[in-house]
Structure 1
Amino acid sequence: MDTFNPVTHRKLFCLVTAQMTANKGVKLFGVAGEQAIEKELRQLLTRDVMHGVDSQTLTREQRRAALRYLMFLKQKRCGTIKGRGCADGRKQRLYKTKEETSSPALSIEALFLSCVIDAYERRYVLTCDIPGAFMQAKMDELLHLKLDGTILEILLRMDPSYCQYVTYENGKKVLYAQLDKALYGAVQSALLFWKKLTAFVVDVLGFEINPYDECVANKIIKGKQCTIAWYVDDLKLSHEDPTVVEDIFTKLQAEFGKEAPLTVTRGKVHNYLGMRIDYSIDGKVQFTMPSLVKEIVAQLPSSLSSGPCATPAGNHFFVVNKNAQKLSQTNSDLLHRMTTQLLYLCKRARPDLQTAVAFLTTRVVAPDCDDMKKLGRCVRYLRRTAHLPLVLEASCVNNIRWWVDASYAVHPDMRSHTGATMTLGKGSVYSMSTRQKINTRSSTEAELVGVNDAMSIILWTRHFLEAQGYSVKENVVYQDNESAILLEKNGRRSSTKRTRHLDVRYFFVTDNVHRGKLSIEYCPTGDMIADYFTKPLQGLLFRKMLKQILNIDDSLIDSSPQECVGIQGSQGVTGQSRTRQADSTPQGNIEESSSNSAESAETSSKSFLVKNRSYADVVCNREKV
């Protein structure tokens, strides 16, 4: 601690200091901390979020029910101090129901489908963010706020008119205020803002909500469809005509940008919900999450960081050693945190990690040393393939293709594993990898249960696209088990002594086949893409499936990082570089470079030089050749 300096050790300082209360933050950050609090409080004043009330006019119950106003400070990596103010809404959970507080949010499946359609129809895309979103909506109940301590002192200094409402409780200054607008922390705030935004989109702009995702709205303008999708206060607008999109944005700006303008992104590349969405290649959309990948790789312990991995999981991945040593609480928490981050990543930009992550999620309760090694292999594979994107393109939005497969009794409790993936042309728009909830007696039963596991999303996808205005001609499910196909097509008529015990609910598939909602077709095992999500594949089969799922080619896979020695910061490689072999020992530090800038991220004393070429760069170079 004698040699520790927050300025020179800023990166470490941000990692070890979590966000803190206002009182502690002001003591540590001084004037910068007070300025951060002032900036946050200024929103309450300029947006008329509250007004002071005389505490004598409040009943004892109202004073007890008042929500305390909290302020947290944190120093960003850039050195600036960020303040986050919110109400402590825990008291509301005692009398508020889930229906009164749950707000719809854009599903990741709806977002991906809309992005594929944007690329397919060559739409102009704009993303924007509404500042102070919750404070735009009016509060729907009589709710009071309680301010005290450093926050109150700064508020009185900013607006002395509140001095008349100050009272004392237990010798401390206290201010009660009535909330006129929704505030972060109040449990119904998100729902109130969703209602306000939805009302504006429907009543003012004339859009129609998709009943299968209440955060997607459409309208036919100039003979073409215009789509608005939003996740809380982050909006995505798209239409083939840029003037239509800009006109809608102008109306949103006039309604929600009165106190502060909306932040907007135009062009081919958008940072949306933590993802980098790139439309640079005609007819295709590319998803990457470089910041999250760097964060995950940086957490890998040095003891697990040696050696590259060609696949995220070995053949023995589902095997559990009951005699393996349990992890310490610190390492157990690390495994849990990194698995959660990997789960977030694989459900968005890296579906090739799903099989490994699906197993790791079943081990976070009581992990052992083997689980930590399996996590290490998955992260080393991610480090080696950090440059790989998910590239989606549609050949026809009217034809949906599904591949569903199951691996029989691969888990320690003898349960099977379901894998499924969907595409509208090329690239996996949606994929799943999950352990089945029941035990089955044969591979045929496992296949039937696997299709039943995927039925909800299979039907939802069809209904969502139809509600978007697209007539679905084909919704085909491919399987590699002909006995399971007969059961799914014919139901009880194809059931024998070995399958007559099956629950009626698993013939829900048969009912939808007869209704024409989907069709079942045979697919050879060698072409069964969903096989990737049921077991850890290796070698050429893994590479084949990887290219189909991510919609990439050999040129991008082979442009994986090169091992180097003698890296010295930004000076580049000072030693001799060599091509990485499968079992070589890594040396040096991680360096990720893009076409625009070079960034460095230290993961451990043993890392790689990562050459981060985008998919657009590879395609551009190929076209030049």
Structure 2
Amino acid sequence: MNRTLVECARCMMEHAGLGKSYWGEAVMTAMFLRNRCPTRAIHQDKSPYQVWTMKKPILANLKVFGCHAYVQVPQDKRAKFDSKSSLCRFLGYAEHQKSYRFEEVSTGAIKISRDATFMEDKFDEGPRNYNDESSVVEFDDHDEDEEKEEGKTDDDMDSSDDDNEDTRSSKSNIKRHTRTQSLEKATVIPSPKRRTYRGPSLEHVSAAAMDFEAAYIVDSVGETPTTFKSAMESSDSGKWKEACDSEFDSLQRNDTWEIVPLPKGRKAIGCRWVFRVKENQDGEVERFKARLVAKGFSQKFGVDYEETFAPVAKFTSIRVVLSMAAKYGLMLHQMDVKTAFLNGSLNEDIYMDQPDGYLDATQPDYVCKLKRSLYGLKQSPRMWNQTIDGFMIKMGFKKCESDHCIYIKRDDQDMILVVLYVDDLILASSNNELLKSTKMALSKRFEMTDLGELDYFLGMEIKNDRKTGMVTVQQTKFLKSVLTKFGMDNSKPVKTPQDPGLKLTKNMCEQECKHEDTMCNVPYRSAVGGIMYLMVATRPDLAAAVGSLSQFSSDPCPTHWQALKRVLRYLQATPNHGLEFTREEGSRICGYTDADWAGDIESRRSTSGYVFMMSGGCISWKSQKQRTVALSSTEAEYMALSEATKEAVWLKVLLGELGEMTSDEAIKMYEDNQGSIALAKNPEFHKRTKHIDIRYHFVREKVESGEVVLEYCPTQDMLADMMTKPIAAVQFENIRDRLGIHGAAANESRGSVEKTAAVKKTPRQAASSVEASGRPSFAIPVGTCPVRAKSGNDVTG
């Protein structure tokens, strides 16, 4: 399908004489046409449009892409003696309304109109040999049933004059006025790394979402080439050739394949070059990178591959390691594996075409029999993970069962942790020699890049101040790019991401019946995805807002979009905010859980929320609508407590494997509802709780076994309150600070305070944190580190 759309779009642009800047419009038009073409993939050779709508597509309204057309100018947009039409280029079909998309030749503005005179033999580069006469097509907004009752008019656009327009509008049995919508000049949206949404039908997706889908499919018309030929014809052909040579040499050194004739009955999969300009943390060009990837989509299950799953480190696990680095003053370093997937061996016989530009001159008809797991193969991530996992075990590391990408190795009173995320590694160690030896062993086995101290990982900017025992994690660069991308970099800041007085509902779309015209070009889903990554990695203060806004991604209305822009305005106010972990503040883990009873005014379901704190910062959080309706606030809190308990049990296992907790220690969790606490501690059967699903009674078992300890927390001290609903600015900022979310300026001032406090430590406090040698001791019993309360009302673990 990708190739079909590319070829179709390329032909349309070539035929119309349009440049590559029109690739987005061409691809959307190609999608529109493909949805209305019969396909063998559907029974009886029906079109996707017919299957989806149960109606045959009307093909009489289709026009030649890129042709000239005269579009009617509405009366309120022109003066008495102004022209009634403007010369435009036809660019496709509008979303959510029966209209065409045009580009005005004189201004470049995008217009959406139903009434136009098409000249399908007129293009930018001169006439084409077409016999079809120019035609006038006017779309009606009514459904087909209404059209049958009311009838259809074929009045020409020029037949409407200034004198009779008011008379025509007053008659209900005559079609409505022409609606023409002028939009801002179209701009190409950059291609995302990954698509996060797939709708049932492309024609029911918003225009902005289609822009992103199209950018993903047709990136060949962007600045970065997507074929070997286009790379060699570009202005940076020398740099791209050097990058390809480097990649090919690496493949040869790793003995990735052997040239053999294709066995009878087997089919070789294809391959292609993928090009990328790699930038550093400051956005400067670091190097040109080329990678040969196999076309794994043509692999067949059971023939070319079996298992494909490969784990990656959880973000919660990464934050746990960072909190331990703050607590014990660990060194944090980073390494990258070059051509990581080539280190994995294949269990299946896979044949691949020879790569473009590097065809064997003596055996051009032969194929490559792969020996290594090349990028693009479905099983490559799994093979790579198995390879490095076996090597880490051979080095003496122990793999955590709670997270298979966290490895730990102890040497007397020192230890080293390795966090694996595909081919990126974080190394945290208390001993410099142990760190160096581990790096040397990894570099000897794999081709590695030593990136030195950890400062940038998966889009997170990390600073480790070992002197003050402070580790900060933020995403300032990514946050600013999100604001710029959606035109909110100069917006007015606000103090909270949500308006406490606004309840978002799906019924708003029905009330705002005209929202389709204004929302068709709004990148709602893309904006939700941008702030979602911030929330997942470093910003728990966005959890409730993201959970609320993501419910309306399929059909947002202007009110939803305004609420989303408020979140972006909040990010504009807090661009440098991120998580902060400190040595002295709350080193012991504790959790907070809360629920907003019947907060959803449509479904009347409650929202669960929890946060877990360690080393003064938030390591785990969640905001989620409950699956069933709770009949009381006690039930809602009880169900939220059950979800938090599951996370607590997993964290206890992880911390136990890392040496932070013993098996007989419990995680303390705070709840602000006395009824739910009593329900969790009391195993008796009550008639008021007999309907509660047995899965939620999981918390009782863990309380009885002593793995979890429940304590009451006043509502004003409940840190999870932010996860369940919008709250006022003063309370929001208070909870945000107590969750360890601070700005860069605050981090610097707090760091200076920590330096001052460090001088005044007692001998016992100094001994409990750092040995005389300057390295932290892991022989100290857990819990001896003093805990400094944030305020008199704080409840700490």
CA distance in 2, matches of 1:621, 1:489: 42
* Match among 354, 357, 362 for residue 546 of structure 2: 357
Q: Which residue of 1 is the match for residue 264 of structure 2?
A: 59
* Match among 597, 605, 614 for residue 408 of structure 1: 597
Deviation at 1:59, TM superposition (A): 1.4
The aligned runs of 1:51-450 (5 Å cut-off) are 51-55=258-262, 58-60=263-265, 62-63=266-267, 66-75=268-277, 81-92=288-299, 94-95=301-302, 100-147=307-354, 151-152=355-356, 154-156=357-359, 162-167=360-365, 175-203=366-394, 205-257=395-447, 262-267=448-453, 269-280=454-465, 282-301=468-487, 306-320=491-505, 321-322=508-509, 323-324=511-512, 325-326=514-515, 334-393=523-582, 395=584, 399-411=588-600, 412-450=602-640
- Partner of 1:100, secondary structure, is coil
Letter in 1 for 2:544: T
Q: Which residue of 1 is the match for residue 26 of structure 2?
A: none
Indicate how the Cα distance of structure 1 residues 469 and 329 shifts in structure 2: closer, same or farther if over 3 A, else same: farther
CA distance in 1, matches of 2:518, 2:331: 50
Q: Which residue of 2 is the match for residue 592 of structure 1?
A: none
Which moves more between the two structures, 449-458 or 315-324?
315-324
The aligned runs of 1:387-536 (5 Å cut-off) are 387-393=576-582, 395=584, 399-411=588-600, 412-472=602-662, 473-493=665-685, 495=686, 497-536=687-726
CA distance in 2, matches of 1:202, 1:134: 19
Letter in 2 for 1:270: D
Kept after mapping to 2: 8 A contact 1:50/1:179:
yes
TM-score, normalised via structure 1 length: 0.79
Kept after mapping to 2: 8 A contact 1:14/1:75:
no
Deviation at 1:380, TM superposition (A): 0.8
Deviation at 1:616, TM superposition (A): 3.3
CA distance in 1, matches of 2:739, 2:534: 15
* Match among 727, 734, 748 for residue 616 of structure 1: 748
Deviation at 1:92, TM superposition (A): 2.9
Kept after mapping to 2: 8 A contact 1:134/1:183:
yes
Letter in 2 for 1:277: I
- Partner of 2:408, secondary structure, is strand
Kept after mapping to 2: 8 A contact 1:300/1:376:
no
Deviation at 1:299, TM superposition (A): 1.9
CA distance in 1, matches of 2:546, 2:377: 34
Structure 2: runs of 5+ lacking an equivalent:
1-17, 22-186, 192-214, 216-221, 758-797
CA distance in 2, matches of 1:312, 1:201: 43
CA distance in 1, matches of 2:339, 2:272: 16
TM-score, normalised via structure 2 length: 0.62
CA distance in 1, matches of 2:666, 2:304: 41
Deviation at 1:294, TM superposition (A): 1.3
Kept after mapping to 2: 8 A contact 1:401/1:476:
yes
CA distance in 2, matches of 1:346, 1:541: 20
CA distance in 2, matches of 1:295, 1:225: 38
Could you report, residue by residue, the CA deviation over 1:473-530 in whole angstroms, capped at 9, with x for unpaired residues?
331111111111111111344x3x3322111221111111101110111100000010
CA distance in 2, matches of 1:415, 1:94: 42
Indicate how the Cα distance of structure 1 residues 81 and 244 shifts in structure 2: closer, same or farther if over 3 A, else same: closer
Indicate how the Cα distance of structure 1 residues 73 and 224 shifts in structure 2: closer, same or farther if over 3 A, else same: closer
Identity score, percent: 23
Deviation at 1:340, TM superposition (A): 1.3
Q: Which residue of 2 is the match for residue 50 of structure 1?
A: 257
- Partner of 2:455, secondary structure, is strand
CA distance in 1, matches of 2:307, 2:379: 7
Q: Which residue of 2 is the match for residue 22 of structure 1?
A: 228
Deviation at 1:390, TM superposition (A): 0.9
Kept after mapping to 1: 8 A contact 2:304/2:348:
no
- Partner of 2:644, secondary structure, is helix
Indicate how the Cα distance of structure 1 residues 420 and 72 shifts in structure 2: closer, same or farther if over 3 A, else same: same
Kept after mapping to 2: 8 A contact 1:105/1:232:
yes
CA distance in 2, matches of 1:290, 1:196: 35
Kept after mapping to 2: 8 A contact 1:475/1:517:
yes
Across the two proteins, how many residue pairs are aligned to each other? 531
Could you report, residue by residue, the CA deviation over 1:199-235 in whole angstroms, capped at 9, with x for unpaired residues?
11111x1111111111111121132222122111111
CA distance in 1, matches of 2:693, 2:305: 32
Indicate how the Cα distance of structure 1 residues 361 and 255 shifts in structure 2: closer, same or farther if over 3 A, else same: same
Indicate how the Cα distance of structure 1 residues 616 and 327 shifts in structure 2: closer, same or farther if over 3 A, else same: farther
Kept after mapping to 1: 8 A contact 2:303/2:348:
no
Backbone CA RMSD of aligned residues = 2.9
Could you report, residue by residue, the CA deviation over 1:67-117 in whole angstroms, capped at 9, with x for unpaired residues?
211213345675665433211111335337997110111111111111111
- Partner of 2:732, secondary structure, is helix
CA distance in 1, matches of 2:565, 2:708: 40
Kept after mapping to 2: 8 A contact 1:332/1:364:
no
Indicate how the Cα distance of structure 1 residues 327 and 488 shifts in structure 2: closer, same or farther if over 3 A, else same: farther
